[in-house]
Amino acid sequence: MERTKIIEWLLEGDVSIQYQVQRDLLAAGDEVLVPLQRRIALEGWGFEFLQRQHADGHWGRGFYQPKWTSTHYTLLDLRNLGCLPTPEISKALALIVDTRKGYDGGISCHVAVRESDLCVNGMFLNYACYFGISEEEIMSVVDFIISQQLPDGGFNCNLNVSGAKHSSMHSTLSTLEGLCEYRLQGYGYRLDELMQIEREAREFLLRHRLFRSDHTGKVIDSKYLRFPYPSRWRYDVLRALDYFVHAGVPYDERMLEAIEIVEKKQNGAGKWLLPAHYPGSAFHFEMEEPGRESRWNTLRALRVMDYFGI
């Protein structure tokens, strides 16, 4: 299918898809983007998420319960939609900062677990910075994240729990997304250190060609080559490539095989399918049906193809 028809199909989707297509694939100006982005909170998926917030400021039963429909993952979904900050979102962020800071300065998932989870803090930094939280409220989170970098350049959420020695692709990407958003939104606290850490963590992913063992060359995990959405904490090569786009990282030949894997998943109609969700996943509602053509995956794949000139 010619690109024009694919774009038309994408623009028939939710307003959040329309906004990102106009921004990332069509390079529209503010006269188009501003009204579209404002609508995300007022209709479609964004409105549906916001309507599920409880009077106490949380979604689900709190910050991290139940896991997939909690406040944490709902805010991540709203950030990924491109939603503007709303009073509901500001209320939730204030509640998190006031009640979930741990002894180590990070955001704590569970009252019964003293150590903060690095993956959760990377995701928190991502959406909190995107929604404009004050720098003072996240300084301790920045300190915690910096303390968790491993010598190989990446991150592993088991470092402060069980003494992990090698970084995790999952933890590293979640942290990279948070560091990227911190930088792009203009925060300054320990910025030079964070930019160097971001470069080192990117190098960790690239050293693995985004999905291969740097020792054996074998695929680390076949699930890295599937693209369920929303990704949440799970790593896959499309999510990694989309991070490189968002971060403004130039092409590196070590990305090529991952890019080719994404390209080969395009179907005869020029679109990408949504695979089955991971076992145990739960949702406020399903944005798209697994097994069908996916606007989310088509948008993200085209964004990667366009950026890298494929």
Q: What is the pLDDT, as a whole number, of residue 1? A: 56
* Residue 146 belongs to some domain of the structure: no
Quick one: what percent of the chain has pLDDT higher than 70? 100
Q: How many CB atoms lie within 10 A of CB 290?
A: 14
Q: Is residue 22 part of a domain?
A: yes
The values of phi and psi at residue 150, to 5°, are -95, 160
Using a 10 angstrom Cβ sphere, with 0-12 exposed, 13-18 middle and 19 or more buried, the burial of residue 276 is exposed
What would you report as the CA-atom Rg of the chain, rounded to the nearest whole angstrom?
19
Report the domain count for the chain. Answer: 1
**Per-residue pLDDT, 310:** 81
Provide the residue type at 2 as one letter.
E
CB-CB contact of 290 with 276 (8 Å): yes
Report if residue 16 sits inside a domain. yes
Residue 113: band (very low, low, confident or very high) from pLDDT cuts 50, 70, 90: confident
pLDDT at 111 over 80: no
In a domain, 114, yes or no: no
Angle at 232 between CA 304 and CA 238, to 5 degrees: 20
Give a yes or no: residue 2 inside a domain: yes
Beta bridge partners of 212: 219
251, part of any domain? no
C-alpha span between 152 and 80 (Å, rounded): 29
What pLDDT, in 10s, does the model give residues 139-174?
999 999 999 999 999 999 999 989 999 999 999 999
Q: How confident is the model at residue 280 (pLDDT cuts 50, 70, 90)?
A: very high
Question: Could you tell me if residue 55 is left (phi over 0), alpha (psi between -120 and 50 degrees) or otherwise beta?
Answer: alpha
Residue 20 has what pLDDT?
A: 98
Residue 179: pLDDT above 60?
A: yes
Per-residue pLDDT, 228: 97
pLDDT at 238: 98
- pLDDT score of 112: 73
Across 208-234, average pLDDT: 97
Flag whether 207 is in a domain. no
Residue 124 forms part of a structural domain: no
Range of the domain at 15: 1-39
